[in-house]
Structure 1
Amino acid sequence: IPRTAIPDWIPEWRHFTICWKEKLGEEYFYFFDAAAPIITKESINFDIAYYKSRYDKGDNEYINCPMNEEQFNAFYDNLINAQVVKPKEFEEKFFEGCMPFEEMARRGKQTLLFGPMKPVGLNTPDGKRPYAVVQLRQDNVQASLYNIVGFQTHLTWPEQKRIIQMIPGLENAQFVRYGVMHRNSYICSPRHLLNTYQLKESMEVFMAGQITGVEGYVESAQSGMVAGINMARLLEGKNPLKFPQETVMGALVNYITNASEEDFQPMKANFGILPELETKVKKKQRKEAYANRAIATMEKFIDENGLG
């Protein structure tokens, strides 16, 4: 693309992050991830877990996993002794305002019981107050993914799985993303990006890669492909394309542009961001069904838009 096609406010790379902070506002340009683990709704045991908002205020948008005192104590003891990934020295200052869950725990049991695991107002369906409660919040539009509230963590991934599966109702939890706290630079895509990878404030600007909130090498590469196709179309006087949500390329950009602005965190490719299948399929065959639908949808999309 010729330099004349690039807005004057876009600088040389060495001033890139400073520019975006000024353009989008510092509060919408992030420098680190503090993401809680995300699990699939279908892996939650609703014989134990239940829907409820604290004091029944608002919609029942939270899933609650209750603990008795014995379960909490076992969970706590394992949590404070679990293996962690030590943050790099240059990352430390970014985490001052976002304490890892296990660090909160090391300040004492009451820190959790009066904080993220507070049971007040979350009585079980039979009217009893649990000793502690772990809450999960809906993470995508389809309500197929839920994140564990307040569980930003430095635990290693195997330890996250072990510790979280100690929570009643999450004993078979399937993870689509583990919790992370690391240096990263990305924009608040739900606020600033269209699902064509165009910047809302400057429609001639296309964003791609990690800075958009996609996570992973393949995910970043595919976002560049979509952004490149759409920029070429725009320069040719054609409308940019919106890739179908039944494909991961479409579902991923749909996720990052429709997530909550308040706590937006990067996302990688996974089956949980895809729309549900129209017909019921056995669990063992479900991933294959998603893949077959995606391939058929993409082939049709390519033919209809002359991308072949």
Structure 2
Amino acid sequence: MTQELHIIGGGMAGSEAAWQAAHMGVQVVIHEMRPTRGTFAHQTDHLAEMVCSNSFRSDDDEQNAVGLLHWEMRAAGGLIMQMADRHALPAGGALAVDRDAFAQAVTETLLALPNVRLDRGEIPDLPQDGQWIIATGPLTSDALGQAISRETGAEALAFFDAIAPIVYFDSIDMSQAWFQSRYDKGETEAEQKAYLNCPMTREQYEAFIDALLAADKTEFHEGESAGYFDGCLPIEVMAERGRETLRHGPMKPVGLTNPHAPERKPYAVVQLRRDNALGTLYNIVGFQTKMKYGAQAAVFKMIPGLENASFARLGGIHRNTFLNSPTLLDDHLRLRSKPHIRFAGQITGVEGYVESAAMGLLAGRLAAAEILGQPASPPPRDTAMGALVHHITGGAEAKSFQPMNVNFGLFPPIDAKGGRRGRRDRYKAYTDRAKAAFMDWLGQRDAA
């Protein structure tokens, strides 16, 4: 009888792991606790539901490390990238998706496979036998989190993630707001309508910052350390770092011209990004928040154009648990003390939808190869996936380990061959080298 692969968690990593293993011929069981046990952030029972943002970030596979990761996942036949491309929304040089249509498509496509089964229910303990992947992400249940802590002999590291609010388009005052992608990126009308802009004068900005700093915010429980991942800081934390921080971050006014007052340069601009294909929903870019719900509505309605805004979802904050992977996992993403258990996704210490799905892709392939008795190895460090998995399983300093997005700093340096390269040439050299190495790795696996 063929051994089954069990996957705990049906998010980005779990869904991708299931897809990869199933296509290698393995029987897969996905254990997803929703809707039997819900979370504060999820709103549906779909697999791969996006809760923080609808963006996969840059899709440039020659100048950007996450764009290169997109390329590698496409080359490996990844489900997450297939569905992202199918349900993409105009977003300049980024890859943004219609989140509901995307999650529904992932769910339907995955469950249409004859060797994939979905089991709705919580797994509260570490399994003692079989082949398992734990891909429970930042919202690992308390019971399973405690079981992991007991096994690893230490408290899991943790930081806090925040999610941004979503606004109904028909509640936005378009006599103040306007459509424009920054620096007019995108040539089509749809691309120009990917972003909405709400301008602020200096007086409006200062009043907004005052209200933001004074607003009621979520308090942490005793003993919790309020650490944040820098790529997903709540706007209140950014504002606390200096009154001009937001104006040089998500509210920067550059690359935009207000058609309602072209002669007047905004002091700050709040951008909203299209969140679904219908264009009925827009999320406020970079506005992750820990404000309480009542305070959010009051503060965000101070933004010109959002005075009468109706919110499809308000922002929120949640604890994000992750392993000290450099000490606990081997380079096949196996728990050293229980090698029949692999980990994948954000719980391994990667940050971002794409990075999480990439670790799911690797975990699924490596687990399936082990079940099938096939030789397998992680991709070489020259690749985006290889650089990322090497970082989290041994390349990072264990004492200061924190969640990491993929970036070219994780790659082995490029030989300058007698002269200094400009940044564009250097990044192109990284991506050219990575693509060749990744295709070699895929060929070796396919030939096995």
Name the TM-score, length of structure 2 as normaliser: 0.37
1:15 aligned onto 2:118: no
Checking the alignment, whether the CA contact within 8 Å between 1:120 and 1:129 is kept in structure 2 is no
1:166 aligned onto 2:302: yes
2:297 corresponds to which letter in structure 1? K
Shift of 1:92: 2.8
Checking the alignment, whether the CA contact within 8 Å between 1:67 and 1:131 is kept in structure 2 is yes
CA distance in 2, matches of 1:19, 1:136: 36
What residue is the counterpart of 2:174 in the other structure? 46
Q: How many residues align?
A: 184
For residues 92-135 of structure 1, what are the alpha-carbon distances to aligned partners after superposition, in whole Å with 9 as ceiling and x for unaligned?
Answer: 34545532101111222211111111001111014232011000
Checking the alignment, whether the CA contact within 8 Å between 2:161 and 2:232 is kept in structure 1 is no
Residues 119-138 of structure 1 correspond to what in structure 2 (within 5 A)?
A: 119-125=253-259, 126-127=261-262, 128-138=264-274
CA distance in 2, matches of 1:5, 1:33: 39
What residue is the counterpart of 1:85 in the other structure? 218
CA distance in 1, matches of 2:301, 2:230: 28
1:134 counterpart SS class? strand
Say if 1:156 and 1:10 are closer, same or farther in 2 by CA, change over 3 A: closer
2:312 counterpart SS class? strand
Residues 1-308 of structure 1 correspond to what in structure 2 (within 5 A)?
A: 7-10=4-7, 13-15=124-126, 19-21=133-135, 29-31=137-139, 33-58=161-186, 59-60=191-192, 61-88=194-221, 89-90=223-224, 92-93=226-227, 95=229, 97-125=231-259, 126-127=261-262, 128-183=264-319
Checking the alignment, whether the CA contact within 8 Å between 1:91 and 1:182 is kept in structure 2 is no
2:244 counterpart SS class? helix
What residue is the counterpart of 1:223 in the other structure? none
Checking the alignment, whether the CA contact within 8 Å between 1:91 and 1:183 is kept in structure 2 is no
For residues 145-201 of structure 1, what are the alpha-carbon distances to aligned partners after superposition, in whole Å with 9 as ceiling and x for unaligned?
Answer: 111111111111000000000000000010111111113689869x97xxxxxxxx7
Say if 1:66 and 1:91 are closer, same or farther in 2 by CA, change over 3 A: same
1:73 corresponds to which letter in structure 2? E
For residues 36-87 of structure 1, what are the alpha-carbon distances to aligned partners after superposition, in whole Å with 9 as ceiling and x for unaligned?
Answer: 0111000000000000111111222110000111111111111111111123
Once superposed, what is the RMSD of the aligned Cα atoms?
3.2
Checking the alignment, whether the CA contact within 8 Å between 2:162 and 2:290 is kept in structure 1 is no
CA distance in 2, matches of 1:75, 1:6: 58
Say if 1:84 and 1:15 are closer, same or farther in 2 by CA, change over 3 A: same
CA distance in 2, matches of 1:154, 1:5: 47
Checking the alignment, whether the CA contact within 8 Å between 2:211 and 2:299 is kept in structure 1 is yes
CA distance in 1, matches of 2:204, 2:290: 22
Checking the alignment, whether the CA contact within 8 Å between 2:161 and 2:228 is kept in structure 1 is no
CA distance in 2, matches of 1:152, 1:19: 30
For residues 200-223 of structure 1, what are the alpha-carbon distances to aligned partners after superposition, in whole Å with 9 as ceiling and x for unaligned?
Answer: x79xxxxxxxxxxxxxxxxxxxxx
Instruction: Select between 122-131 and 154-163 the one with higher mean Cα deviation.
Output: 122-131
Checking the alignment, whether the CA contact within 8 Å between 1:49 and 1:66 is kept in structure 2 is yes
CA distance in 1, matches of 2:212, 2:257: 24
2:239 counterpart SS class? helix
1:44 corresponds to which letter in structure 2? I
2:125 corresponds to which letter in structure 1? R
Checking the alignment, whether the CA contact within 8 Å between 2:161 and 2:233 is kept in structure 1 is no
Name the TM-score, length of structure 1 as normaliser: 0.52
